Amino acid sequence: MNFDLNVILSKQDELLYGIAVTIFVWVVGTLASAALGFVIATARRYGGVLVDRALAVPVEVIRGTPFLVQLFLLYFGGPYIGLSLDALPAGLLALSIYGSAYFSEIFRAGYQSVPPGHVEAAETLGFTRGQVIRVILLPEMALLVLPPSVNMAIILLKETALLSLITVPEMTMTASAIGSQEYAFVEAMLLLALTYWILVELAGLLGRLAEKKLSRYRLAKA
């Protein structure tokens, strides 16, 4: 058996489709995770003690169980409670819920990082709560929540590989199938690893660019 990447590369259309699905699930899932996580963190901050405690439970459960188990429970268990989803929406939903638990903690830390006095200054000027969040809290926490958010996006990218187990046609599933059919499994996995790594580096690069832009005010010279 020879090591031959050409066998794999000849299937580039299928591969590109798989990569596209992965990127789609990753980007949409990460954005949905972040949005949902932000809503959870905001509800916990402003919703009173009961809401805070009530939301702490699902966050702990999701952080305390493996993503694969959650995915299987949603996809195979969902129909028992009338939630029959196709593979792709099920995968997206599972990924979003999983990521939101972590993102909610990132934003919770972000909220806590802003000195209360900065909020008080806005309140005495008559800012509404929405304005305080949008104009003061989010921009002030941005620099702090960015690195863990990039980290989380990277983790979510790699978790998308598990969606192949519920038949989402993303790139791990595509590469495994091609590798088996063509008797070039190692080549397929190698190429797959390289692709994940490139996407991760891309995410890191975007994160560093954003960080640079956001930290401009801190680096301003006197």
Partner 1 sequence: MSDTAISVQHLVKRFGTTTVLDDITLQIPRGQVSCLIGPSGSGKSTLLRCMAFLEEATEGSIFIEGDPLGFVYDGTGKRQRQAASELRRVRSRIGMVFQQFNLWPHMTALGNVAAALRRVRGLSRSEAEAKALAQLTKVGLENRAGHYPSQLSGGQQQRVAIARALALEPKIMLFDEATSALDPELTGEVLNVMRGLAEEGMTMVVVTHEIGFAATVGSQLSFLDQGRLLFTGPPAEVFAKPRHPRLEQFLDTYLDRGASTLV
Residue ranges that bind partner 1, judged by CB under 8 A: 115, 117-118, 120-129, 131, 135-136, 139-140, 217-218, 220-222
Residues 6+ apart with CB under 8 A from 139: none
Closer CB to partner 1, residue 50 or residue 220? 220
Provide, rounded to whole angstroms, the least separation between the CB of residue 29 and partner 1: 29
Closer CB to partner 1, residue 49 or residue 220? 220
Closer CB to partner 1, residue 69 or residue 222? 222
Provide, rounded to whole angstroms, the least separation between the CB of residue 221 and partner 1: 7
**Residue of 24, 10, 11, 27 whose CA lies nearest to 168:** 24
Tokens of 98: 């999983």
Closer CB to partner 1, residue 53 or residue 129? 129
Provide, rounded to whole angstroms, the least separation between the CB of residue 125 and partner 1: 4
Q: What CA–CA distance (Å, rounded) separates 33 from 156?
A: 9
Provide, rounded to whole angstroms, the least separation between the CB of residue 108 and partner 1: 20
Residues, the chain:
222
Alpha helices in 86-137, H assignment, sequence order = 87-113, 116-124, 129-131
**Residue of 1, 4, 9 whose CA lies nearest to 175:** 9
